Amino acid sequence: MEALSLDLRERILGACDRGDLTREEVAEEFGVSRRFVQKVLRLRADGGPLAPRRRSGGRAPLLGEADLGRLRELVREKPDRTLAELRAALHASGGPEVSAPTVCRALKGLGLPLKKRRCTPASATPRGSGGCGGAGWRGRSGSRRRGWFSWTRAGRTPR
């Protein structure tokens, strides 16, 4: 949400100074809250600046440009490192000690791929071999679910 302009704040004060409208009516006329009208009046009474304050922008990033370049090089050297391994390698190469989520955000910001977990040997069991031939429970003739549904319907007796 953007701050309201200095011009609008001065027009609100002018409407309040004329005295023909209440604070609620001034707020409704300018499309602001009654609390905002009170805030602007209080700022003027205290002698403070009426202009909106600058936004701070949040915390400074933990990884600077040099650290991001170092991280890019680490990924280029060995692309299958995990976040924990990248974090440790970054710290070992002179970078700050940061968390794995910070490394993850930095990789996303750089547009680099993410490695989720350590490399593990491939499973000996191929995917999709469940022994039912891919038909699932509906394709089995002796399925419990089918039998359960058939004898629980109204007006039918179990087989």
pLDDT for the residue 151: 54
Residue 56, classed as helix, strand or coil, is coil
Burial class (CB in 10 A: 0-12, 13-18, 19+), 27: buried
The yes-or-no verdict on residue 145 having pLDDT over 60 is no
The yes-or-no verdict on residue 130 having pLDDT over 60 is no
For the ranges 18-22, 72-76, 81-85, 112-116, which has the lowest average pLDDT? 112-116
Residue 149's pLDDT band, with cuts at 50, 70 and 90, is low
Contact call for residues 143 and 135 (beta carbons, < 8 A): no
Q: Which of 120, 118, 78, 81 is closest to 103 using CA atoms?
A: 81
Residues whose CB is less than 8 angstroms from the CB of residue 38 and which lie 6 or more positions away in sequence, other chains included: 23
Can you read off the two tokens belonging to residue 25? Answer: 């009516």
The mean pLDDT value of the chain amounts to: 80
Cα separation of 101 and 108, whole Å?
10
pLDDT for the residue 1: 60
Residue 13's pLDDT band, with cuts at 50, 70 and 90, is very high
Residues whose CB is less than 8 angstroms from the CB of residue 119 and which lie 6 or more positions away in sequence, other chains included: 80
Select the highest-mean-pLDDT range: 71-75, 114-118, 143-147: 71-75
